[in-house]
Chains A and B, each alone.
Chain A
Amino acid sequence: MNNSQTPLAGRVPAQTDELLVVENLGKSYGDHQVLGDISVTVRSGEFMCIVGPSGAGKTTLLQCLSGLINPTSGTVSLRGKVVTEPPAEMAIVFQDYSRSLMPWLSVLDNVMLPLRSATKDKAERKKKAMEALIEVGLKDHVEKYPWQLSGGMQQRVAIARALAYAPAIVLMDEPFASVDAQTRGDLEDLTLKLKNHLGITIVLVTHDIDEAVYLADRVLVLGNKPTQVVDLIETHLGTERDQISTKATREFAQLRTRVYQEIRHGDIPSSAGSVAAPAAS
């Protein structure tokens, strides 16, 4: 479906850098079809944002991608292996940091816990966790408890926990939806920095169009009931992005308008398509 939109992009990297391949993914609960027929390929090292109207089953899609729930039809494969349970090369950052961190463990212990099975040496675990915490700017807060930190800092802990796990791919489920606007901007820039710094692949689900365009190398636009792929857009905004100057560019505005229209109409608008298409290509 999306291949017709980006025929070149679909063909060229096929052998080289396909990391996460989603093929004809569908999920139903009884008669209720949540996910339609979704096919998309996440390339190694890219930042993909999944955006769609609220109630579009974005979170269900993410759960299927991570193997937390099994799809009704189709497959998800990571590096060629079909995902049936959460793979070791994958980490998730959830929206609700207050519930996804353990209040009975310190920040450092929260980050170290997932490393217990793979890294037997405690000093080694601590080293990895500290590196991740330094990376997200929490060096001075490692002995505190999550509930002693602000929301933005708690989400940084969750990000550090994902990083310390050293995954090939990080899934983020509306990670910045529960923090204030200023913090959100900071966390977006932190995430971009980490992605460029560490070369990890990120798939981020959001309902915020600006956020999706600002962060993504490619934006996957989803339509509603059942959820399906409307469009897959290359942003071409470069690796260095800035909250003020990038969002002020003409390209950003065009992308934003295009995604907005696609979400509103649940389809690629024929009138807008001719305007928006050059911006994407």
Chain B
Amino acid sequence: MSEMTPKSNTAVLAGARTKARKGGSAVAGRRRVGIGPKLIAIAGVLLLWQLLSVSPLVDSDSLPAPVTVFAALLGLWGTGAYWAALGTTLQVWAIGLALCAVIGVPAGLLIGVSMRATQSTRWVIDFFRTIPTIALLPLVLLLFGATSRMEITMIVLAAIWPLLIQSMYAAKQVEPLLKWVFRVFRISTMDRLRFLWAPSVTLLVSTGMRLAATMALLMTIAAEYIGGAPGLGLELSHMEQAFKRPEVFAYAITAGMIGLLINAALVLFQRRVLWWHPIIRGERSE
């Protein structure tokens, strides 16, 4: 009996914990908009598109009907070129985004920690992040040609700013009272990074990642489309030149779906890692 007690006790406690967590999502399930209304919204857009494409307002050659576009998409799924382009785009996107994170997050955190550094760099950062990166494409293209290096450079130039700025804010959001708690209890630097800084900055840094991920994807496809590097953007450009309108739309839809999936994955990550966070908890219960 006495052997059983601690075991059953922890089981109960573990149960209480999952219960508490499940309780949160049960509340969310009751109030959050389910998949149904979302599908209705998509159906509405498709219907509007269909009506518009058959209406006399637009030329049916320039705006193909959704049915035609989806037929084209299905056709593309059977080709090797489509999947190769998709793979190339995703690979370049991932490398570019990773580079943004490796540079942007530590730099942002370091700048954010110091008030002086924040104020000194404000003009420089505001200047660079306001430059329309696409305007730099000819320059970068001249340097690297239509290569993945050109694309990655463009991605970093475009997508590093939201990460840098969110990381700067993240560093400032670390609770000052907790910093004191860590000092009073003489907690080591490693533990401070692990138990104070990492959890404290995750929300804003991951939000920066969401912004940067979308921006990086846009820039990847733009660099392929305009700069001619291989990938979805180049395929789209080829289809356009061949006057294959449904295929053009099919590639555009592909890009949209990638963006949707990436964002959904990052939101899922945030919910998983930050389930304790007041904002995530609030999102769930509202």
Contact = CB atoms under 8 A, between A and B. Distances in A.
Given A68-B183, A142-B13, A99 B188 contact: no
A244 B184 CA distance: 35
Interface string A227-253: 000000000000000000000000000
Interface stretch (B125-133, B174-182, B209-217): B174-182
B17 interface: yes
Contact of B177 (A66, A90, A94, A165): A94
A37 B20 CA distance: 52
Contacts of B185: 86, 91, 113-114, 161, 165
Given A104-B276, A145-B276, A86 B177 contact: no
Contacts of A103: 276-278
A216 interface: no
B191 interface: yes
B187 A104 contact: no
Contact of A100 (B13, B178, B196): B178
Given A86-B183, A91-B184, A104-B199, A99 B177 contact: yes
A102 B178 contact: yes
B81 interface: no
Contacts of A96: 177
Contact of A102 (B10, B188, B199): B199
Nearest to A140: B13
B199 A117 contact: no
B184 A116 contact: no
A122 interface: no
Contacts of A88: 186
Secondary structure type dominating chain A contacts: loop
Nearest to A139: B9
B177 A100 contact: yes
Interface string B250-261: 000000000000
Contact of B184 (A86, A104, A145): A86
Interface string B96-132: 0000000000000000000000000000000000000
B14 A143 contact: yes
B195 interface: yes
Contacts of B188: 116-117
Given A99-B178, A104-B199, A92 B184 contact: yes
B246 to A, nearest CB: 49
Contacts of B196: 102
Interface string A147-173: 110000000000001000100000000
A105 interface: yes
Given A92-B184, A100-B178, A104-B277, 6 more contacts: A94-B177, A102-B178, A104-B276, A114-B186, A117-B186, A145-B20
20 contacts: A68-B184, A85-B183, A86-B185, A91-B184, A92-B181, A94-B177, A94-B181, A99-B175, A100-B178, A100-B181, A102-B199, A103-B276, A103-B277, A106-B17, A117-B186, A142-B13, A144-B17, A145-B20, A147-B281, A148-B20
